[in-house]
Chains A and B, each alone.
Chain A
């Protein structure tokens, strides 16, 4: 009896702790009071962190997306500033699904930001990372509004599309950190930020079109080509027609210089029509952005990373007509070439295999000659894309493709006897590439 009474007393003592109210040890919050942040933007502003947070449109009763900005000496202090000055509900960052880095910040170095992502008790270490090309993350996050949707929905669809397609891949914070630690360089999915119709026009030009080609070069490369320095990204942003972040913030009714901006819409509440789309990869060396790989060449990078997915390649037919091929499978095998005398690594033989089907072609695509010709064109196209990426890797002296790992896997004993690191050897290596293609399906009218 006494035992039961003691147990009952103990249970009664525990009951108040289960109510979730009144105690400093309780973090209970109603769902309605939580603003679930899904997109985080990180920029550099005069050495401080400019943070932009976005929640999806479904969090508001009026269906408009939420965007908040603040500056602090670190990400945590920036979040605290936003919490303090925002009239929004309690910010909940545990479900951040996308982290966008502005190009200026990426050029300054992202080591601190990556460490924050890895150390944060709230955020996941495998959060997808993006670099927004020629813009700040704040511009992208506050500017992308299409109808009732904002950046969260757009990036969700970007991620889904990138997972399915073979010309892009969204690397996570942990993958980037690992690659930087191991190879000293890494790839991050690059986003372009522009008008929806502008992006559509670029797509319509097709791979290899003028617009695409201009995008494929990094600012340094364009600078070299033009013989004049390119404007810094900040200037590029300022020269564009859209308002600068500060202006946008003011439009949103900001009351102080450091208060969060609420700028999802242009004055008048009309959607801006701006959107984000994948535009290849950003290349990090050390922890700094040093160049880009455009979307066309990203297929080549994916072949070397063995991340080939479904993607389209346009090649000329035998009579000059356009043939659209859909790559369904592909992979590469690497065979290191060693100098038998001194055991040094002299080159790498790369064997690529690609399988594609014809999606659009001329009438006689079923003929053997035409199929052979298209296969040859496919092999040439893949070969060119792989070579282009290898050239970038050699020129930047950055093993962002992880070739060193694959060479080590092929012959670990010799690899570990190398005098210099693989990255140091990279510019001296000779790459011999062999691409073998096959058409898995012609999709001819007769087949249907």
Chain B
């Protein structure tokens, strides 16, 4: 990968913040509330040490890059030509499956909150087309969109949290004792799962430059995100209680639906839910970009992060179209019946993600170290 960076850590962190919002409100805090009960609001903070270690590992891993290399190139170098190529063919399968799931999940969010009678295929298809257009362009455009979206999404999120925190009932959050430690750690698993995606996916976007200490900036990012998740969880669980939060599919949007601003403005959930299209768009675009990059690299091409002409098919760029089609197909095939979403959302996708983040990536690093190529 050409790493003549025209983007920096800040842009990558902005991308990481925006893309983590997409899966975070799907799993958190309802799944965590089921596991941690009243002390669920501490789950995000409990997840921080594990995620800090993971960021430290990724910084070490990405520090092994040479000039012009990215995570896919590291796979090739660490595992050798054959095994590396095999992994580069396998990784896009996961990335495209995940992209399809995000498309389906985004459609499900719109259906359950705003358009109850609409078919998911419509939303999946439209978002797939939009993400294809983004993936056909340069990576820098995706990062710029993230930078533009970040203040808007964060401002809305903080405004909602500001209003919601006034309505919390302390008996929904307290007391917390030593006995809650194990449930809190269990409740931290969905947080680790969600944030690990936001940590490793930007590494496909060439990641930080090989030189320099990036751990501090990433650690600061992580702590800020954990505090944000803690506030979010406290506002939701403080309003509904852990029992009801665990039963609700999307408790955050239920909270937004309840909010009345200054006794005059209400029912703004449609606007807020629509805003969550940006995280979905950026996440799927990034997944498509990473998937096509891995595939083209595995087929012996030298893909570039730079902008090519969108309709240029040279260098096997038709794979971008193929990836988008595969992601949309996954989106259409995943959970055609709404009942299946819970299985995908709470079991299949988290399990695959944890395998990739905490087994595949460390295994590649260890292999590279053993082969003394790092």
Task: Report the separation of the CA atoms of residues A406 and B254 in the bound assembly, to the nearest whole angstrom.
Answer: 27
B8 close to A (CB within 8 Å): no
Task: Report the separation of the CA atoms of residues A210 and B75 in the bound assembly, to the nearest whole angstrom.
Answer: 85
Interchain CB contact under 8 A, A409 and B175: yes
Interchain CB contact under 8 A, B171 and A409: yes
Contacts of A25 in B (CB 8 A): 115, 118, 122
Interchain CB contact under 8 A, A118 and B248: yes
Per a CB cutoff under 8 Å, which of A121, A182, A412, A413 touches B241? Answer: A182
Per a CB cutoff under 8 Å, which of B116, B171, B239 touches A121? Answer: B116
What 0/1 readout, one digit per residue, does chain A (85-101) give for beta carbons within 8 Å of chain B? 00000000011000000
Task: Pick from A122-130, A223-231, A345-353, A425-433 the stretch touching chain B.
Answer: A122-130
Interchain CB contact under 8 A, B258 and A125: yes
The residue in chain A whose Cβ has the minimal distance to the Cβ of B246 is A181
Per a CB cutoff under 8 Å, which of B112, B122, B177, B254 touches A412? Answer: B177
Per a CB cutoff under 8 Å, which of B112, B171, B176, B248 touches A405? Answer: B171
Task: Report the separation of the CA atoms of residues A412 and B243 in the bound assembly, to the nearest whole angstrom.
Answer: 18
A60 close to B (CB within 8 Å): no
Give B281-328 interface residues, CB cut-off 8 Å to A: none
A207 close to B (CB within 8 Å): no
Interchain CB contact under 8 A, A177 and B244: yes
Give A115-137 interface residues, CB cut-off 8 Å to B: 118, 121-122, 124-126
Interchain CB contact under 8 A, B113 and A121: yes
Interchain CB contact under 8 A, A125 and B254: yes
**Given that A126-B258, A406-B171 are known contacts, is A174 also in contact with B177, CB under 8 Å in the complex?**
no
B216 close to A (CB within 8 Å): no
B373 to chain A, nearest CB (A): 44
Interchain CB contact under 8 A, B244 and A412: no
A185 to chain B, nearest CB (A): 14
A238 close to B (CB within 8 Å): no
**Given that A121-B113, A121-B114, A406-B171 are known contacts, is A182 also in contact with B243, CB under 8 Å in the complex?**
yes
B30 to chain A, nearest CB (A): 12
Q: For B112, B170, B171, B267, which residue has the most chain A Cβ atoms within 10 angstroms?
A: B171
Give A178-222 interface residues, CB cut-off 8 Å to B: 178, 181-182
B257 close to A (CB within 8 Å): yes
Contacts of B171 in A (CB 8 A): 402, 405-406, 409
Contacts of A174 in B (CB 8 A): 239-240, 244, 258
A408 close to B (CB within 8 Å): yes
Task: Report the separation of the CA atoms of residues A118 and B30 in the bound assembly, to the nearest whole angstrom.
Answer: 14
The residue in chain A whose Cβ has the minimal distance to the Cβ of B174 is A409
Interchain CB contact under 8 A, B244 and A27: no
A416 close to B (CB within 8 Å): yes
Interchain CB contact under 8 A, B243 and A181: yes
Task: Report the separation of the CA atoms of residues A181 and B113 in the bound assembly, to the nearest whole angstrom.
Answer: 24
Task: Report the separation of the CA atoms of residues A408 and B258 in the bound assembly, to the nearest whole angstrom.
Answer: 28
Contacts of B347 in A (CB 8 A): none
A306 to chain B, nearest CB (A): 10
The residue in chain B whose Cβ has the minimal distance to the Cβ of A402 is B171
Task: Report the separation of the CA atoms of residues A351 and B240 in the bound assembly, to the nearest whole angstrom.
Answer: 28
Per a CB cutoff under 8 Å, which of A125, A178, A409, A412 touches B257? Answer: A125
Task: Report the separation of the CA atoms of residues A406 and B179 in the bound assembly, to the nearest whole angstrom.
Answer: 18
Interchain CB contact under 8 A, A124 and B258: yes
Interchain CB contact under 8 A, B244 and A181: yes
B369 close to A (CB within 8 Å): no
B371 close to A (CB within 8 Å): no
Q: For A121, A181, A406, which residue has the most chain B Cβ atoms within 10 angstroms?
A: A121
Interchain CB contact under 8 A, B240 and A178: yes
Contacts of B5 in A (CB 8 A): none
The residue in chain B whose Cβ has the minimal distance to the Cβ of A118 is B248
Contacts of B122 in A (CB 8 A): 25
**Given that A121-B114, A122-B116 are known contacts, is A413 also in contact with B177, CB under 8 Å in the complex?**
yes
A58 to chain B, nearest CB (A): 18
Give B233-271 interface residues, CB cut-off 8 Å to A: 239-241, 243-244, 247-248, 254, 257-258, 267
Task: Report the separation of the CA atoms of residues A34 and B247 in the bound assembly, to the nearest whole angstrom.
Answer: 32
Give B141-179 interface residues, CB cut-off 8 Å to A: 170-172, 174-177, 179
Task: Report the separation of the CA atoms of residues A405 and B239 in the bound assembly, to the nearest whole angstrom.
Answer: 15
Per a CB cutoff under 8 Å, which of B118, B172, B241, B244 touches A118? Answer: B244
Contacts of B118 in A (CB 8 A): 25
Contacts of A402 in B (CB 8 A): 171
**Given that A118-B248, A121-B114 are known contacts, is A181 also in contact with B254, CB under 8 Å in the complex?**
no
The residue in chain B whose Cβ has the minimal distance to the Cβ of A173 is B244
The residue in chain B whose Cβ has the minimal distance to the Cβ of A126 is B258
**Given that A124-B258, A181-B244, A182-B241 are known contacts, is A416 also in contact with B177, CB under 8 Å in the complex?**
yes
B136 to chain A, nearest CB (A): 13
Task: Report the separation of the CA atoms of residues A409 and B171 in the bound assembly, to the nearest whole angstrom.
Answer: 7
Contacts of B114 in A (CB 8 A): 121
Q: For A94, A95, A118, A125, which residue has the most chain B Cβ atoms within 10 angstroms?
A: A125
What 0/1 readout, one digit per residue, does chain B (173-197) give for beta carbons within 8 Å of chain A? 0111101000000000000000000
Contacts of A405 in B (CB 8 A): 171
Contacts of B248 in A (CB 8 A): 118, 125
Task: Report the separation of the CA atoms of residues A402 and B170 in the bound assembly, to the nearest whole angstrom.
Answer: 13
Contacts of A408 in B (CB 8 A): 175
Contacts of B243 in A (CB 8 A): 177-178, 181-182
What 0/1 readout, one digit per residue, does chain A (397-411) give for beta carbons within 8 Å of chain B? 000001001101100
Task: Report the separation of the CA atoms of residues A229 and B231 in the bound assembly, to the nearest whole angstrom.
Answer: 53
Per a CB cutoff under 8 Å, which of A95, A126, A409, A416 touches B179? Answer: A416
Per a CB cutoff under 8 Å, which of B113, B115, B244 touches A178? Answer: B244
Interchain CB contact under 8 A, B175 and A412: yes
Pairs A–B under 8 Å by Cβ, sample size 12:
A25-B122, A27-B115, A94-B267, A95-B267, A118-B254, A125-B258, A126-B258, A177-B243, A177-B244, A178-B172, A412-B175, A412-B177
Question: A residues near B, CB below 8 A?
Answer: 25, 27, 94-95, 118, 121-122, 124-126, 174, 177-178, 181-182, 402, 405-406, 408-409, 412-413, 416
Question: B residues near A, CB below 8 A?
Answer: 112-116, 118, 122, 170-172, 174-177, 179, 239-241, 243-244, 247-248, 254, 257-258, 267
Of all A-B residue pairs in the complex, the 6 with the closest CB atoms, nearest first, are A181-B243, A412-B175, A178-B241, A126-B258, A405-B171, A121-B116
